[in-house]
Structure 1
Amino acid sequence: PKELAVIPSRIKPGCKRSGARNRTHEIVSKRWGLWKIQHEQGYTTHQIARAWKCNRSTIEYARDKGFVAGRK
C-alpha cells in the first residue's frame, strides 16, 4: 500500500531532520507486519526489498528485531 511505502529522506546531508512522514510507530509496525508475513511465506529479503523498493538491509534489520517495532 502507498501509505506504508518506504519513502526516501528529503533531508540533505548535514541538515536537521524535519519530520518522520512514514516512520511513525503505527506505520512501521504495519509495514514490518506485512514483511513478516512475506518472510514467513518464504520470500527472501532481496525479494521483499525489491517489491517494496527499499534496501534489503532495511528488511534484515526488521527481521533481526523480530519484526517488532521498538518505541511508541
Structure 2
Amino acid sequence: MKMDNKLIEAAKNYRLTVLEKKSEHYERELDKIRQSLAQLSQEAVLRSALKKPELALPVLEVPKEISYRPANGKKQRNRTTHVVAQRWAFWRKQYEAGMTVSMIAKAWDCDHATVCNARRCGWKPSIRGQRRGFLVKSC
C-alpha cells in the first residue's frame, strides 16, 4: 500500500512538473505576443499621425449657362466655341486645384472622355478643322 501511494505521489509530481514547464513556455510566448502587439499599436499610432490629411473638396456648383448637356438631335447653344471655352476654363481651374478628371466629369455630369479631350487639347477649344492634326491619346 505504501508503495502504491509513493508511486501515485511520484506520478502526480511528475505530471505537475510537466504542466508547470508547459505553462512557463506558454507564458513566455504570451509575453512575446503582448510585446509585438504593443509595438504594432505604436506603429499604427505613428502611421496615423504621419498620414496626410484628406483634402475636403468643395461641392461644385455648375453654372447653368455653360453646363454640359448632351445633344438630343437638336442644335444646342452650349456647344458654341465661346461656351466651350468657358466650360474648359472651369475644368482647367478645377484640375489644377487637384481634382481628378473623373471627379470633374461626375460633377459636370458628362463623360470622362470629354474632360480628357479638353485636357489633351490644352484646355483650349479650336475649330474642328484645326484639330485634325491631333493624335488620339489617353488621359
Consecutive unaligned residues of structure 2, counting only runs of 5 or more, are 1-62, 128-139
Runs of 4+ in 1 over 6 A off after TM superposition: none
Larger Rg: 2
1:5 aligns with 2:5: no
- Which residue of the partner structure matches residue 45 of structure 1? 101
- Give the % identical residues: 38
**Corresponding pairs, count:** 65
Mapped partners of 1:21, 1:10: distance in 2 = 12
**TM-score when scaled to structure 2?**
0.45
- Which residue of the partner structure matches residue 19 of structure 1? 75
Give the AA of the match of 2:71.
S
> Which fold has the larger relative contact order, with Cα–Cα distance below 8 Å and residues 6 or more apart in sequence?
1
Indicate the larger mover: 19-28 or 35-44. Answer: 19-28
Q: CA deviation at 1:21?
A: 1.9
**TM-score when scaled to structure 1?**
0.85
- Which residue of the partner structure matches residue 34 of structure 1? 90
Give the AA of the match of 1:6.
Y
RMSD: 0.9
